[in-house]
């Protein structure tokens, strides 16, 4: 009996410190041996995308909350914590890495808001031009050199062609946000990628748009910018593209960096429709990706960028020509109704190349092939 009591005492002495260790400075603590952690938003896992960082004063994760509340779970290699996240609310806890370093972690919930644009105008104020793809030596070389017809061979519709092409470009190099090609055209980018170079989101947009134009699907590079584009120092922009699918008679967003096409009710979406679907139909929203890109992870990352949208007036392909402009401006920027017209990018870079509109019809008119861009009279 004495031996049993003694053993029980020893066991209690071992357990009590472990129980006490479950809080630190009044907050919950979970253990980790590896700095890489997983998390789960609702029913979707995001694997290996979070690094436990004790050196950061407060490591903040912004978590999207599509329907007022979402179940969130954070898993290390040896422990976990879970709770319900609501918009505007946060949860703090510590991750104890290797039994010695505490990483203060904060999970902040945010809701989605659908931006408003002018949908009453029916006559475009501008005419944008696109590649005719007739006797274009640049596109013919791209098509033949990289055997683009083989990539889309057997595809039964334009959606499948676009998905195959963005997947092919996605696989040509690993993303590196600091590298630029020697020349900003698709042939140069692909040649340098073949030699081992890695490039930014800009180059994924450039190469995917050119490749789609080469097989006869009108495409344009699309710039995205955050609401705080003027005041944030880094990470205020992202570049992807949109392609016009003739069989659907609509523009569709593609992201070559992530190998993504957004879809709602089996209909591919343009960038503005995607923004609206995130806010209004998150549960039905689908992220199509031949690489298996996570919906939760991608939406969480891309959502802040879906505020300002800009495209060039002249979207033709090639290297030896001068692009047309409108009133000396090369791009058209779509801004939400009532939003500020941004004049600076990331504090120091002038945004002096854009005309501004909040009209959907200006931005999403069907492509006009090869004409000079104009300003239409209202």
Instruction: Show pLDDT as tens, one digit a residue, over the chain (378 residues).
Output: 444 544 544 444 444 444 445 899 999 999 999 999 999 988 888 888 899 999 999 999 988 888 788 999 999 999 999 999 999 999 999 999 999 999 999 999 989 999 999 999 999 999 999 998 888 999 999 999 999 999 999 999 999 999 999 999 999 999 999 999 999 999 999 999 999 999 999 999 999 999 999 999 999 999 999 999 999 888 999 999 999 999 999 999 999 999 999 999 999 999 999 999 999 999 899 999 999 998 988 998 999 999 999 999 999 999 988 999 999 999 999 999 999 999 999 999 999 999 999 999 999 999 987 666 666 433
Beta strands in 3-124 (DSSP E): 23-24, 27-32, 36-41, 44-51, 59-64, 70-75, 80-85, 90-97, 101-110
- Residues paired with residue 287 on neighbouring β-strands, in sequence order: 262
Predicted local confidence at residue 377, as pLDDT:
32
Q: Tell me the residue length of the chain.
A: 378
Q: Which position has the token pair 């806890």?
A: 93
Are 309 and 362 in contact by the 8 Å Cβ rule? The answer is: no
Q: Which helix (H) or strand (E) holds 206?
A: helix 201-214
- Tokens for 242, please give them: 């949109």
Neighbour order of strands in the sheet with 36-41: 44-51, 36-41, 70-75, 80-85
Between CA 130 and CA 85 the distance in angstroms is 45
Burial class (CB in 10 A: 0-12, 13-18, 19+), 220: buried
CB within 8 Å of 80: residues ≥ 6 apart:
30, 73, 74
Between CA 45 and CA 63 the distance in angstroms is 13
Between CA 275 and CA 264 the distance in angstroms is 11
CB within 8 Å of 106: residues ≥ 6 apart:
58, 59, 60, 61, 90, 91, 92
Predicted local confidence at residue 21, as pLDDT:
52
Residue of 360, 285, 370 whose CA lies nearest to 120: 360
Question: For the chain, which residues make up each domain, given as ranges?
Answer: 2-110, 126-375
Neighbour order of strands in the sheet with 267-268: 267-268, 261-264, 285-288
C-alpha 91: how far from its chain's center? 25
Question: Does the CA dihedral 40-45-51-52 come out positive or negative?
Answer: positive
């Amino acid at each position: 009996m004495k031996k049993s009591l003694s053993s029980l005492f020893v066991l209690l002495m071992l357990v009590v410190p472990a129980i006490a260790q479950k809080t630190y400075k009044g907050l919950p603590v979970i253990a980790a041996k590896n700095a890489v952690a997983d998390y789960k938003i609702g029913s979707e896992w995001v694997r290996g995308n979070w690094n436990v960082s004790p050196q950061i004063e407060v490591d903040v994760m912004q978590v999207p909350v599509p329907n007022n509340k979402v179940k969130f779970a954070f898993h290390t290699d040896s422990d976990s914590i879970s709770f319900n996240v609501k918009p505007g609310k946060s949860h703090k806890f510590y991750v104890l890495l290797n039994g010695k370093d505490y990483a203060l972690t904060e999970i902040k919930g945010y809701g989605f808001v659908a931006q408003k644009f002018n949908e009453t105008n029916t006559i475009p104020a501008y005419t944008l031009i696109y590649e005719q793809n007739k006797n274009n030596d640049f596109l013919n070389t791209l098509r033949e050199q990289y055997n683009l017809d083989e990539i889309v061979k057997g595809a039964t519709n334009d959606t499948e062609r676009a998905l195959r092409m963005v997947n092919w470009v996605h696989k040509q190099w690993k993303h590196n946000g600091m590298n630029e090609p020697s020349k900003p055209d698709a042939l140069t980018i692909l040649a340098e990628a073949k030699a081992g170079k890695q490039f930014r989101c800009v180059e994924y947009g450039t190469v995917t748009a050119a490749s789609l134009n080469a097989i006869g699907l009108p495409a344009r590079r699309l710039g995205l910018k955050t609401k705080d584009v003027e005041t944030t120092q880094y990470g205020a922009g992202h570049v992807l593209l949109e392609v016009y699918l003739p069989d659907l008679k609509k523009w569709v967003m593609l992201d070559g960096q992530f190998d993504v096409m957004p879809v709602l009710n089996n209909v591919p979406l343009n960038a503005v429709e995607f923004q609206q679907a995130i806010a209004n139909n998150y549960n039905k929203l689908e992220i199509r990706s031949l690489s298996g890109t996570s919906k939760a992870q991608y939406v969480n990352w891309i959502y802040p960028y879906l505020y300002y949208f800009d495209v060039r007036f002249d979207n033709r392909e090639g290297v030896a020509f001068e692009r047309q402009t409108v009133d000396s401006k090369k791009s058209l920027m779509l801004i939400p109704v009532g939003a500020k017209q941004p004049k600076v990018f990331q504090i120091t870079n002038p945004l002096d190349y854009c005309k501004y509109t909040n009209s959907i019809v200006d931005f999403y008119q069907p492509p006009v092939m090869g004409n000079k861009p104009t300003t239409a009279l209202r």
